[in-house]
Copies of this chain bind each other. A is one copy, B any other.
Amino acid sequence: MLKITKKVEYALIAIRHLQENQDALVSVSDLSASYGIPKEILAKTLQKLASANIVKSYKGPTGGYKASKKIAKTTLNDFFEILEGPTAIMDCYFQDGCDHLNSCNIRTPINKINDSIRNLFNNLTLADISQ
């Protein structure tokens, strides 16, 4: 219930490390070894962050990842959605029909809760939660 995934947890760890070592080029193997994170999962996670320009990737030997300038300004909502898709406490929030078709009496509360959470995450940046 309302838990974040390991993917997001691992991404946070990686991002924090890259931010604290701004100019270093860090490989997945290094991060994986330092923090005890399965290499393949972390790799795929960083690939997603790279394609969203949150981090920069460099291929080949001596390659790895660096923090991008965009990183601090990124909102929590964008960060989560890059990794996990739309932020919603129920799937129906982003769908046309609702799960209960005829007799749904929770559309209003579900939307209110979700709006509040999205509003919260849209107004918190990765920089905000780091200090």
- Give CA–CA (A110, B129) in the complex, Å: 8
List B contacts of A89 (CB < 8 A).
2-4
> Is A95 located at the chain interface by the 8 A CB criterion?
no
A interface, how many residues as a size bin?
A: 35 or more
Per assembly, the copies of the chain total 2
Which listed residue, B87, B105, B110, B116, touches A17 by the CB 8 Å rule?
Answer: B105
> Is A112 located at the chain interface by the 8 A CB criterion?
yes
Give the interface SS of chain A, mostly helix, strand, loop or mixed: helix
CB contact under 8 A between A109 and B129, given known A3-B2, A35-B103, A120-B116: yes
Which listed residue, B88, B90, B109, B112, touches A16 by the CB 8 Å rule?
Answer: B109
> Is A59 located at the chain interface by the 8 A CB criterion?
no
> Is A36 located at the chain interface by the 8 A CB criterion?
yes
Interface-side segment among A6-14, A22-30, A45-53, A62-70: A6-14
Are B1 and A8 in contact (CB-based, < 8 A)? yes
Q: Across the two chains, which residue of chain B brings its CB closest to A112?
A: B129
Are B105 and A16 in contact (CB-based, < 8 A)? yes
Are A103 and B34 in contact (CB-based, < 8 A)? yes
List B contacts of A20 (CB < 8 A).
105
* 24 A–B pairs (Cβ distance < 8 Å), ordered by A: A1-B3, A1-B4, A1-B8, A2-B2, A2-B88, A2-B89, A3-B90, A9-B90, A9-B106, A12-B109, A13-B100, A13-B105, A13-B106, A16-B105, A20-B105, A34-B103, A35-B103, A35-B105, A108-B131, A109-B130, A112-B129, A113-B129, A117-B117, A117-B120
